[in-house]
A = this chain, B = another copy of it.
Amino acid sequence: MTTEEKIFNAARIVFQKKGFAGARMQEIADEAGINKAMLHYCFKNKQLLFEAVFMNAFGELAPQINDIFNSEECVFDKIKKFTKSYISFVIQNPFLPAFVIQEMNNNPEFVMQFFNNEKRPNPELFLTQIKTEIQAGILKPINPKQLLLDIFSMTVFPFAAQIMVKGIIHISDSEFNQMMEERKTSIAEQIINSIKK
């Protein structure tokens, strides 16, 4: 593993746990097991290191989502695939959703510029497809944006609020993961059931 990779991984861990403002360059250096000056040697400054981590995290997920939403499949299949692959991905990166929400909230200007990127999640095609399937009589006449919000909510929220969820319903890490495994299929079933005519 190159030094740059060591730093990057350390930065991902620390930023995801503490956020941009809470993260300390020294802590990242310690986590990477190298001298703090190397951070600046490799990534210039905190902001750029952060951007590298954020872009990577988000940029890995967005194309996956877009591939699914922009494929040729029907709405039902897209919902099934999305929930399954999103949950699989996030189980491997459990702090990602809370991290993205946090930085979105603290630093909207920076994050927003990122939404003009081609790597951003772009559900336009999916939304028009929903309209089409409603007109075709496949789906009940629901608001496409509400449907999309439902899908995201059911999928993302448990991870974003992971710590709170564990605290409120009193479950361990393994019970949590087991519940998320269940959700890989149960979310799609429930949503499809509620919108199919």
- The answer, yes or no, to whether A90 is at the interface (CB within 8 Å) is no
Min distance, Cβ A48 to any Cβ of chain B, angstroms: 18
Contacts of A164 in B (CB 8 A): 100-101, 104, 111
**Docked-complex contact A158 and B169, CB < 8 angstroms:** no
Render A143-160 as a binary contact track against B, CB cut-off 8 A, 1 for contact.
101101110111011101
- The answer, yes or no, to whether A63 is at the interface (CB within 8 Å) is no
Cβ contacts A to B, 26 pairs, < 8 Å: A17-B105, A17-B106, A19-B102, A19-B105, A20-B22, A22-B106, A98-B102, A98-B104, A101-B101, A101-B160, A101-B161, A104-B164, A121-B168, A123-B169, A143-B179, A143-B182, A145-B171, A146-B182, A149-B179, A150-B190, A152-B161, A152-B165, A153-B158, A154-B154, A160-B160, A190-B194
